[in-house]
Amino acid sequence: MTAPADEQAQDAPAAEPEAPAENAEGGEAGDDQDDLAAEWEAMVGGEDGGGDATTGAGRESTRVLNQDEIDSLLGFDDEHEDGSEKSGIQAILNSALVSYERLPMLEVVFDRLVRLMSTSLRNFTSDNVEVSLDNIASLRFGDYLNSIPLPAMLSVFKAEEWDNYGLVTVDSSLIYSIVDVLLGGRRGTAAMRIEGRPYTTIERSLVERMIHVMLNDLSAAFEPLSPVTFRFERLETNPRFATISRPSNAAIVIRLRIDMEDRGGRLELLLPYATLEPVRELLLQMFLGEKFGRDSIWETHLAEELWFTDVELTAVLDEQFMRLGDVFALKVGSRIMLSATPDSLVDLRCGDVTMCTGRMGRRGSNIAIRVEERIMKGGP
C-alpha cells in the first residue's frame, strides 16, 4: 500500500528538473508573451478605470466631466446666464446671427438715447435719475422671449415710417420703483413688492406714461439719422401675446439700467433686424453724414481732364437701305445714288449716338462741318 505512494513521492522530484530546460529553450518567447500580456493588462485597466500607476494614462483619457464642465460645454454656465455672451455649443448655434457691430451707427443712436432719457426721466419723476447702457446684444427673438424674467410688462410699439414693430420690456423692480416715486414714496426705503398678483390699473397707467416718454426720446435719438415716429400700441404681461416677429428671426436687444438713488430696475428695448432694414444703409455709416465713394478733389480733377479727352466723331452724309441681294450684286464701278445735296444736314455721331448736326464745307484744303444744332438726349 505504501509502495506506490513512495514511488509517487520519488517520481515528483524527478519531473522538476525538466521545467528549467523548457524555460531555457523558450526563454526569449516567454519574455515576448510577458510584454504582450502587460500591454493587454494596461489597456484593460485603463478602460475599467482601475489598476495601478501604470494605467494612469488610461484613466486620464476617459475622465468623467463634472456638472460645471458640462454646463460650460453646452453654454449654460452661470457666468453667461444674462445672455450677454454665449459660450460652448450655444456660441456655435448663435454664430449665424448678424452682429450689431456691423451697424456702427446704432451705438451713436443709443448713446444719444441714454442722454435724452436721463433728462426726460428726471423731469418725469422729479427725482435724480441715472440711465446707463449695459450692453447691446444680438439674439433670436424666440430666445429673448424665453429669457424674460416674469413678472414684467411688455410694451409693443410701431415704427410708423418703417411699418414694423418693436418691443420694450420693463422688469418688476423698475415697475415698483416708478410707481413708488410717482406716488410720493419716501427716499431711503426700498419699493414694496407684492409678488403673485396681477398689476393694477394704476400701475399699468403709470408705466405706460413712462413708456411714452421713452418712445419720444427714441424718436428724437433717430431724428438726425432718419425721421421716425414710434407709436405705442399695447401693454402686455404675457410674452406669448407680445410676439412681433418669428421666433427664429434675429433681433437687437439694448439693455438699459435706470437708477433712482436706492431704487431702480432694468428696461430692455428690442428691435428686430426687419424693423431696421429701411435704414440699414444709414446704420452702416461709421459717422453721421458719411458719404462713401464721393471725393470733391477727384471730381474736379476728372472734370478738368475731360476737356483734354480725344473723341472720335463720324460724319454721316446719308443712309441707304438695300436688300442683301443688291449688296451681293455690287461690283467694281457700281454707283450708289445718294439723296443728299450740298445743302443737306450731316449727322455727327459718336458710336451710334448722334451728337449734333451740321453742314459740310471746305476750310483750306480740309473738309469741315459747321455745327448747326446740338442734339441733347437723356436729359432736359
Q: What is the DSSP string of 314-371?
A: EEE-------HHHHHT--TT--------TTSEEEEEETTEEEEEEEEEEETTEEEEEE
All three cell numbers of 98: 448678424
* pLDDT, average across residues 306-310: 87
* pLDDT, average across residues 258-277: 87
| Kind and range of the H or E run holding 111 | helix 105-125
User: Do the first three CATH levels of 97-189+198-283 and 310-374 match, i.e. the same topology?
Assistant: no
Half-sphere exposure of 171 (CA within 13 A, CB side): 14
Which is higher by pLDDT, 334 or 45?
A: 334
Q: Which residues contact 198 (CB under 8 A, 6 or more apart)?
A: 237
All three cell numbers of 73: 460645454
Question: Which of the 8 DSSP states describes residue 191?
Answer: P
pLDDT digits (tens, 9 = 90+) for 316-351: 888 888 889 888 988 898 888 888 777 888 888 888
Contact criterion met (CB below 8 Å) for 153 and 207: yes
pLDDT digits (tens, 9 = 90+) for 228-266: 899 998 888 888 888 888 888 888 999 999 988 778 888
Model pLDDT, residue 21: 44
* pLDDT, average across residues 79-85: 50
CATH topology of domain 97-189+198-283: Chemotaxis protein chec (3.40.1550)
- CATH code of the domain made up of 310-374: 2.30.330.10
Structure confidence at residue 216 as a pLDDT band (50, 70, 90): very high
CA distances from 366 to 115, 338, 360, 362, 369 (A): 76, 22, 11, 6, 10
Rg (CA), the chain: 44
Query: Does the pLDDT value for residue 15 go beyond 60?
Result: no
User: Does residue 142 sit in helix, strand or coil?
Assistant: helix
Domain ranges of the chain: 53-91, 97-189+198-283, 310-374
Q: Is the peptide bond before 227 cis (omega within 30 degrees of 0)?
A: no
Model pLDDT, residue 156: 92
Query: Does the pLDDT value for residue 305 go beyond 50?
Result: yes
All three cell numbers of 278: 429701411
Structure confidence at residue 270 as a pLDDT band (50, 70, 90): very high
Average pLDDT, the chain: 77
Structure confidence at residue 307 as a pLDDT band (50, 70, 90): confident
Cβ of 166: how many Cβ atoms within 10 Å?
24
State the Cα–Cα distance between residues 160 and 162, nearest whole angstrom.
6
